[in-house]
Structure 1
């Protein structure tokens, strides 16, 4: 069976479209074939809520009088990048305050979404066209021109789980890893995860509308470290970090319920974001993809104590979600870093928005790469 975006949108307009979450379709797949699902379901909503360090916002403050070319800029004491133009800057999620390494860009972004007031300090050398040399004032999301989230790398298509074989605690972006395989952490929403429900990105590309922290945003490019060449399991799904998305949206439209700053002990600041993507069920192949279950999705367990974080085992998300995994004869506790509760909430919201016509569907204006690999940085001498 073959459907088009136009046909699905017409069904939505008539109030006849069947929109389900990916979890609902995964359960349906235990009784129905992909062909039957393709005939019955029109759109499947996916979602994730997890730490996405490679995120940030462009902010335009507006010009003071007289003008100031902002070259050194901070908000609440956190440096932000001002090398863009006179009054544009970029807030990087992982940038931190020199006086408080537990507070950084992620906190600024969350505060802006919440409508909180921040202290802006800016300095410049003074020029003929921008003679002012400094400014100090209070800003919030309502008294600046624009705040546009542009995230270089979000919504990983799977991600390795982490453990630690050493005799000491390790503090990482995958959380605190206890010694001697004391725990395993993971950070993907499994069968709800957007790019695991469309592994070949048949419906996701440049211009795809997405739910980003409560706002309607878009895929603006492939994410950095986009990789199509990762090993796959028998169901054709990558068993490690593969494709990623570059996402953009209006921060002023975001909902504080779906954005949360975080500090990982001895690692640094990050930002938890809610991302959701609806997938139109255009044919039987897409129906098969959105039917994937946690039992079929596997990831690699990596040992963060060894150079290069080598994979030491493969495990399904059903096993990870059970709370324990057996590794080398030892029963090891597992813990998610992403929130399944939040992901489910996003998928349900998106389901209602799509069904009501509030979240328009359209094909991508351009596909993302079919083939791409990630290259490592070559450094002379020993690593420090």
Structure 2
């Protein structure tokens, strides 16, 4: 892809301006206004960094941890945190807990199948809040790991290490969910009322990180990001990454497309940006705060980072009849601007829109990242490998 060269700066040059306190940083919403009013060349001349943010359920998330055992040693075969099963197939004291894993024998699930009060995301939130959780480890006993049972309450600070490791976050566009059947449907997009009684959507629109870098021109392996209120890193493309979706003239995918795999130190994070959640009739997840800085290296990058809500088109999908069979069809496209209005018209029916992503929290994340950069607490990194996108 060829770039114009009226503006041409490097990440090192931007970092020098951050260090000297002279970097000009705006959030993505401000950049959209600037590009619209002054054009991409002038916007690129004025702005060094654009900050983005999203706070949304991200089911493909979890924690890799080491429970720092003391003699007699145990080889963890089965592991639980607050009665939520963890993975025991790593080294003796290493494990992984996923945010959609649910507590065993949840009484609510017996009354309302698929509904749980507590899961892996709640465990992680409690740890980040500074609360203790109950660790239970079963081993089968070996010559080098003779212990067979370990039980104790443990805090985040007592874990040898705790890494937020998320295989798929920050989806680049996603479905809007409706239900055309005559009974309510319980889904990972939340409850969907019968006969298209509501439309649920999950994105931060023009604030969303990958809408502002649709071709992954500055986001790649090693990109430093805001994650859960602390510093994290992109470690590659996420699972289900689609590098070649149909796009509109703005470069915005017209379907779920790019994803990111990310990691960060949980001990640096803030529970405000890590929230365990439960969906009635579906299960558990976790809302994650994530923000990516976009260095404005030239006017083309400024153009992409100036995307407006009216230019983001999202597909409306029926989750009622054949979504689970992989046969759901696109009923219509709606813009994020229309979704924010509170209702859209689908098949001649006015439908109430319901966001699963918090716009106010997404803006707060973009502004928090902006403050970190302006105060010299956060510097940009050069991606060490490109994420595929066409």
Q: TM class by shorter-chain length?
A: over 0.9
Cα distance change, pair 288–314 in 1 and its aligned pair in 2 (3 A): same
SS in structure 2 of the partner of residue 142 of structure 1: helix
Paired residue for 2:145? Answer: 130
Question: Which residue number in structure 2 is paired with residue 375 of structure 1?
Answer: none
**1:31 has 2:46 as partner:** no
Query: In structure 2, what is the Cα distance between the partners aligned to 1:370 and 1:157?
Result: 12
- Three-state SS of the structure 2 residue aligned to 1:23 is helix
How far is 1:14 from its partner? Answer: 2.0
Matches within 5 A, 1:209-288: 209-288=224-303
Task: Report Cα offsets for 1:248-278 as digits up to 9, x if no partner.
Answer: 0000110011111100001000000100011
Give me the whole-angstrom Cα distance separating, in 2, the residues matched to 1:234 and 1:203: 20
Structure 2 equivalent of residue 374 of structure 1: none
Partner in structure 1 of residue 371 of structure 2:
352
Which residue of structure 1 aligns with residue 9 of structure 2?
3
Unaligned runs of 5+ in 2: 1-6, 107-115
Query: What do residues 114-144 of structure 1 show as CA deviations (whole Å, max 9, x unaligned)?
Result: 1111111111110000011111111111111
**Secondary structure of 1:103's aligned partner:** coil
Give runs of aligned pairs for residues 54-73 of structure 1, distance below 5 A: 54-73=60-79
Answer whether contact 2:228 2:269 (CA < 8 A) is retained.
yes
1:117 corresponds to 2:132: yes
Name the stretch that deviates more: 244-253 or 356-365: 356-365
* Separation in 2, partners of 1:203, 1:304: 34
Distance in 2, Cα, partners of 1:124 & 1:292 = 53
The answer to whether the 8 A contact 1:304-1:310 is kept is no
- Looking at structure 1, the residues matched to 134 and 15 of structure 2 have their Cα atoms a distance apart, in angstroms, of 46
1:203 aligns with 2:218: yes
CA shift, 1:202, in A, is 0.5
Does the Cα contact within 8 Å between 1:160 and 1:239 map onto a contact in 2? no
Following superposition of structure 1 onto structure 2, how do residues 157-172 of structure 1 map, counting pairs within 5 Å? 157-172=172-187
**Aligned equivalents of 2:255, 2:342: Cα separation in 1:** 20
2:216–2:388 CA contact under 8 A, matched in 1: no
CA RMSD of aligned residues (A): 0.9
* DSSP 3-state at the match of 1:7: helix
C-alpha displacement at 1:31, in angstroms?
A: 1.1
Alpha-carbon distance, 1:221 to partner? 1.6
Does residue 333 of the first structure (1) align with residue 352 of the second (2)?
Answer: yes
Matched, 1:320 2:320: no
TM-score by length of 1: 0.95
Equivalence for 1:83: 89
2:187 matches 1:181 = no
TM-score by length of 2: 0.94
